[in-house]
């Protein structure tokens, strides 16, 4: 089947922590400047670019290990939506739903080296939608993680994404951003590691008709599309945030990276539509 799931040094710490902005207001995007911008498209997220340090403060790295003797490693992304809650994808937990096997890392930027701003949090419980993969493949692809501790939002590297309202319609929204550490095009074809630096890409979401025009009957209620033939989420981005600017100027998390082509090109990616699942989210965040 063509559709495959996306199963997919310290930087002046004292000075930056003193001068950087805090993110106590949800949906507040950080600065986008970085010390080095990639010039080779083949090194990018699938034609994205390096994100700035703290530019997407709600972005988390979901880390997993099957056994306690094996170090945890990045498998998926996720979105910090409350001080102790993370939104992610159900398919990220197909290998295990045991909370102790997972860690949520916040303040992450360079995933293979420390910047002195990362902090890891133990997971208290994992809530996967009971109808995941029912009645259609990759339907209801949504999950919540409750953390054992609250995340401190007073610094410049951790913040919340805003939640949309149920009446909000983000189809054909223009100012939208994807972020993550997923495989790049070079990573797929050349077998290299995912990018160390958090990647970003911007663009509009698709209309429902346009998405169905690409994917047909595979599109079910609760799915929204983003991406082009050349710009796309990929394996490792799974569970991560698609955010769009709301009327107040802040960013709502409107999509969760779910599925697309195995090659991560030539088709838009499909995301779990957050507005559709707001009742489920509110019911389970207790």
Which pLDDT does position 7 carry in this prediction? 38
Which pLDDT does position 35 carry in this prediction? 39
Which pLDDT does position 262 carry in this prediction? 82
Which pLDDT does position 18 carry in this prediction? 33
Which pLDDT does position 124 carry in this prediction? 98
152 is catalytic: no
Active-site residue (options: 50, 141, 237, 252): 141
131 is catalytic: no
140 is catalytic: no
CB 112 within 8 A of CB 196: yes
Which pLDDT does position 69 carry in this prediction? 84
Active-site residue (options: 61, 179, 238, 258): 238
Which pLDDT does position 9 carry in this prediction? 27
Which pLDDT does position 115 carry in this prediction? 85
Which pLDDT does position 193 carry in this prediction? 60
Q: pTM for the complete prediction? A: 0.86
CA neighbor of 182 nearest in space, from 106, 264, 94, 268: 264
Which pLDDT does position 25 carry in this prediction? 86
**CA torsion 188→228→202→73, rounded to 10°?**
-30
Which pLDDT does position 34 carry in this prediction? 44
Q: Kindly give the parts of the chain with pLDDT less than 50.
A: 1-20, 33-44, 187
Q: What gap in Å lies between CA 59 and CA 25, rounded to an integer?
A: 15
CB 104 within 8 A of CB 123: yes
CB 173 within 8 A of CB 254: yes
Which pLDDT does position 15 carry in this prediction? 29
Active-site residue (options: 91, 110, 129, 140): 91
8: Cβ contacts below 8 Å, ≥ 6 apart: 76, 182, 183, 234, 235, 236, 237, 238, 257
């Amino acid at each position: 089947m063509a559709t495959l799931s996306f199963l997919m040094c310290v930087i002046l710490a004292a000075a930056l922590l003193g001068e950087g902005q805090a993110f106590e207001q949800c949906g507040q995007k950080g600065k986008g400047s970085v010390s080095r911008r990639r010039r080779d498209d083949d090194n990018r997220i699938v034609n994205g670019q390096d994100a700035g340090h703290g530019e997407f403060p709600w972005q988390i790295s979901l880390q997993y290990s099957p056994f306690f003797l094996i170090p945890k490693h990045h498998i998926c992304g996720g979105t910090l939506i409350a001080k102790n809650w993370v939104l992610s994808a159900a398919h990220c937990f197909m290998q295990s739903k045991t909370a102790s096997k997972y860690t949520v890392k916040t303040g992450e930027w360079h995933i293979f080296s420390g910047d002195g701003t990362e902090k890891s949090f133990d997971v208290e419980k994992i809530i996967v939608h009971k109808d995941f993969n029912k009645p259609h493949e990759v339907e209801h692809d949504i999950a919540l993680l409750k953390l054992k501790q609250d995340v401190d939002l007073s610094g410049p590297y951790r913040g919340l994404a805003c939640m949309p309202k149920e009446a909000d319609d983000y189809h054909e929204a223009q100012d939208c951003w994807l972020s993550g550490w997923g495989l790049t095009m070079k990573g797929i074809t050349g077998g290299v590691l995912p990018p160390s630096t958090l990647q970003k890409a911007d663009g509009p979401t698709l209309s429902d008709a346009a998405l169905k025009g690409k994917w047909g009957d595979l599109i079910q209620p609760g799915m929204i599309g983003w991406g082009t033939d050349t710009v796309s989420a990929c394996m490792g981005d799974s569970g991560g945030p698609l955010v769009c600017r709301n009327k107040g100027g802040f960013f709502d998390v409107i999509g969760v990276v779910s599925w697309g082509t195995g090659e991560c090109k030539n088709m838009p990616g499909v995301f779990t539509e957050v507005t559709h699942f707001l009742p489920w989210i509110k019911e389970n965040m207790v």
